[in-house]
Amino acid sequence: MKVKIILFSIFMLAISSYKSNAQTKPNMPQSIISTSASIRTYNDDKTLKAMSKGELVELYIERMKVIVRILPKIGLATKPGVTMTDLGIPDTSDNKKALDLEKDATQTYLDITQDYLRKMLPFCDKGQLINAILFYEQTLKALRDLEVQ
């Protein structure tokens, strides 16, 4: 009975992933900066000091991921959702390949770095971690202000 349930679950998962792949539009322009590269709230020193080190580690990693996704591309765009077409970059196969390669490389870097940070950051000083988060958030605020100008 358990085997039937497992096989049925795998079958349903395969069907749902096939449908989602069939529904994606291959010719849709891709964003240069991932739409997940943004934060909703900024913190102050007092709020961060009230958090546990585990919460600070996760917040630090979240901020680092946004910085890595945006900072190298500020010459092109500073906000998520901007496409090559929006910037007047030709939508050629070479440009698409370059964008795909960069996204894959960034994701690989983030996966490795995230794993490393989750292992190492718990050993760091809480005050240093708070200062680093505040630095990242100030940098993100400056980028937000840059796009307004």
pLDDT in tens, 63-116: 999 999 999 998 888 888 899 999 999 989 999 999 999 999 999 999 999 999
pLDDT at residue number 14 = 60
Per-residue confidence at 56, pLDDT binned at 50, 70, 90?
very high
Helices (H), 37-125: 45-49, 53-70, 84-87, 93-120
d(CA 8, CA 40): 40
Q: What angle do CA 138, 48, 116 make, to 5 degrees?
A: 80
pLDDT at residue number 21 = 46
DSSP-derived 3-state class of residue 18: helix
Tabulate helix, strand, coil % of the chain (nearest 5): 70, 0, 30
